[in-house]
Amino acid sequence: MDDMVKQPILSVTEFPWVGDPANPKTKEEYAYKLGQMVAQQRSLLDDESIEMIWNGGAGPSKNPYKPDIEKLNRTKQGVFGIFTAIEPEDLPLYRRLLPVNMSMPERPVLSLVNLDYNQPNPITRYREGMVYLKGVGADGEEAWYVHSVPVETWLMLVVGHDWGFRKDLYDMTVTPQKSTVMQRDGDLYMSLELTDTLCPADTEWLIPQEHCGGHNNIAVIYPRNPDVMLRFGWTGRGVALEENKKMVKISVNPSLDWAGLVRDGTIAPGYYQRYTIDGGDAYIKKVRSK
């Protein structure tokens, strides 16, 4: 037994039943890969000498990823979902929901997103929602604070919690017309539904497309060091593969702590989009409280 304990922990590429870490064949392989990723990221996040983490610790890329747009369109791959955003009803509530590490932006915005991470491998495919509040970090830059994240699986919940994403388990459906998040007791959490009404042109600023509805430049508070805000993003650009800009009907369970930001019966600017990321590097920036 002592000999087993003294053996070094194998990396994911060395573990005997993991053949292709980038394309796991079983849920066990995927869980092991994510566990290794969490352990590596935790060591980088806890290292006080590191301020920026590029591409999961690999450093800036010399050959940025270039998507095969033709293949993505032919196979209908690419993340897709419904995005919408509003100026919040209750500004004092908005301030209370922002963490102390962030200040109010010049124009507060609540962004709601429900996505299907439409990947070719069914083992890695999952659905996820996000409730974002625009705020300003201690570095003076705006970011989308992730207030809550509905997910479908325990695996995604555990990975997210380690970094500070406030995830809980829900049942989700995401289609080009409507996305619905249901609580496990059968009650509605929220739904986003495209209407037949086109979006006014003067609302483009609400959900900037280069941020994919706020899905780029997002921020959480690191639970292992609450004085640090983690800003996640990428330096490439979002590319719409399919898009349908329409007003979106928002339905929210009134018992939620953020429900007061949305007036009952709200119809807001938004869109359905299937997208990919063209080039650039993924990063995590540590923003320390001043």
At 71, which helix (H) or strand (E)?
Answer: helix 69-75
CB 176 within 8 A of CB 51: no
Residue 20 lies in a domain: yes
Mean pLDDT of 225-231: 96
pLDDT reading at 35 higher than 90: no
Residues 144/211, Cβ–Cβ less than 8 Å: yes
Bigger pLDDT: 211 vs 103? 103
Residue 204, domain member (yes or no): yes
Domain encompassing residue 69 = 61-288
Q: Are residues 43 and 68 in the same domain?
A: no
Distance CA 35, CA 58 (A): 17
Report the first-to-last Cα separation within the chain, whole angstroms.
49
- Largest Cα separation within the chain, whole Å, is 68
Name the pLDDT band for 2 (thresholds 50, 70, 90).
very low
Burial class (CB in 10 A: 0-12, 13-18, 19+), 73: middle
Assess contact for 57 and 40: CB atoms under 8 A.
yes
Same domain? 1 vs 115: no
pLDDT at 4 over 50: no
Same domain for 256 and 136? yes
Please give the radius of gyration of the chain, using alpha carbons only, rounded to the nearest integer.
20
Mean pLDDT calculated for residue range 25-49: 88
**pLDDT, greater one: 64 or 3:** 64
Verdict on whether the full-model pTM lies above 0.75: yes
Per the model's pLDDT, the better-predicted residue between 51 and 234 turns out to be 51
Residue 67 sits in the same domain as residue 86: yes
Check which CATH number belongs to the domain holding 254 and give it: 2.40.400.10
Q: Average pLDDT in the 8-14 region?
A: 52
Mean pLDDT of the chain: 88
The total of other beta-carbon atoms located within 10 Å of residue 74's CB is 9
Among 270, 232, 221, 276, which residue's Cα sits nearest to residue 114?
270
Same domain, 14 and 77: no
- Asked if pLDDT for residue 101 goes beyond 60, the answer is yes
- What span, in angstroms and rounded, lies between the C-alpha atoms of 120 and 40? 26
Q: Would 21 be classed as within a structural domain?
A: yes
Decide if 56 is inside a domain.
no
**2-11, 27-36, 224-233: least confident range:** 2-11
Among residues 205, 212, 206, the alpha carbon closest in space to that of 236 is found at 212
Same-domain check for residues 171 and 120:
yes
Q: Are residues 68 and 7 in the same domain?
A: no
Domain count, the chain: 2
Q: What are the residues facing 25 on neighbouring strands?
A: none
| Euclidean distance between CA atoms 286 and 290, whole angstroms | 12
